[in-house]
Amino acid sequence: MKVALVGYGKMGHMIERAALARSHEVVCTVDLFASDATCITSDSREMIDAIRSSGAQGVIEFSHPASVMNNIQTLIPTGIPLVVGTTGWKYRLEEVSELVALNKTALLHASNFSIGVNLFYRMVREATRLMAAYEEYDTALFESHHNQKADSPSGTALDIARIVMDGNPRKNTLVTDAFTRKPESNELHLSSVRVGAVPGTHTVWFDSLADSIELTHTARNREGFAMGAVRAIEWLSALDGDGKKKLGVYTMDDVFDC
């Protein structure tokens, strides 16, 4: 298929390689600054014109948390299936869902496109279900990423926090700041570290007086995100089981159906 990339930085280049490896054509690359992009612009109109005239059948957006909402609002009205990898906008999901419905199009978003992380989410869901029955276990979350990451906590960590809070009614308040007092038992502490070149590590701790259980996902590189994003756009632009165009908002859970 013909793919357009919005945001042609580290991920954009990696996604291009992954798309080519799966026999797709990258017909347009849009960026604010990247000198090797086919369209260098900060103008929404120019971005749309470049994407439309390229004949792109799908768009993949990996830009910057400060740009993503404007890009989403610009790209949805094109009606071209859109995969969004940039994080930091999920609190506006309702607004985005309405825009997707209004324009009868499809958008897929995920704070993490790797297969391993999406399987890890399922493991955390099941572990939380098991551990929630035992009051002696407290839970906390930890994530670390490279020092170029613009948002904190990571979108993946926030997804994990949501899974833990959905599965354990004793944890109903997320705390992402440092504590200046003793934590309350209903508070779920999520701490973030930014250092060096870490591609992404997420840990869920279950801790009691007797022992500690840690579940950790460690990304080795970012190739998994790029390949996941390409698989996502393939899935999103393919017809559904009834032979109809996919419409609405999806996540990676819909792609990795297992």
CA atoms of 132 and 38, how far apart (whole Å): 51
Q: Which of 13, 64, 146, 149 is an active site residue?
A: 149
Reply yes or no on whether 171 is catalytic.
no
Reply yes or no on whether 149 is catalytic.
yes
Among 16, 18, 31, 144, binds ligand NAD (CB under 6 A): 31
Q: Torsion-angle region of residue 236: left (phi > 0), alpha (psi -120 to 50) or beta?
A: alpha
Do the Cβ atoms of 97 and 104 come closer than 8 Å? Answer: no
CA atoms of 254 and 258, how far apart (whole Å): 9
x/- map, 139-178, ligand NAD, by CB under 6 A: ----------x-----------------------------
Q: How far is the CB of 91 from ligand NAD (least distance, A)?
A: 15
Q: How far is the CB of 199 from ligand NAD (least distance, A)?
A: 8
Query: Is 112 among the residues that bind ligand NAD (CB under 6 A)?
Result: yes
Q: How far is the CB of 251 from ligand NAD (least distance, A)?
A: 11
Tally of helices (H runs) and strands (E runs) in the chain:
8, 12
Q: Which of 145, 189, 202, 217 is an active site residue?
A: 145
Closest to ligand NAD by CB, 46 or 135: 46
Chain centre distance of CA 167: 21
Among 62, 206, 250, 256, binds ligand NAD (CB under 6 A): 62
Query: Is 39 among the residues that bind ligand NAD (CB under 6 A)?
Result: no
Among 29, 63, 144, 168, binds ligand NAD (CB under 6 A): 63
Burial of 96 (0-12, 13-18, 19+ CB in 10 A): buried
Query: Is 29 among the residues that bind ligand NAD (CB under 6 A)?
Result: no
Footprint (CB under 6 A) of ligand NAD, residues 183-242: 222, 225
Task: Choose among 118, 109, 83, 117: nearest CA to 256.
Answer: 118
CA atoms of 82 and 254, how far apart (whole Å): 15
Q: Where in the sequence numbering do the catalytic residues fall?
A: 145, 149
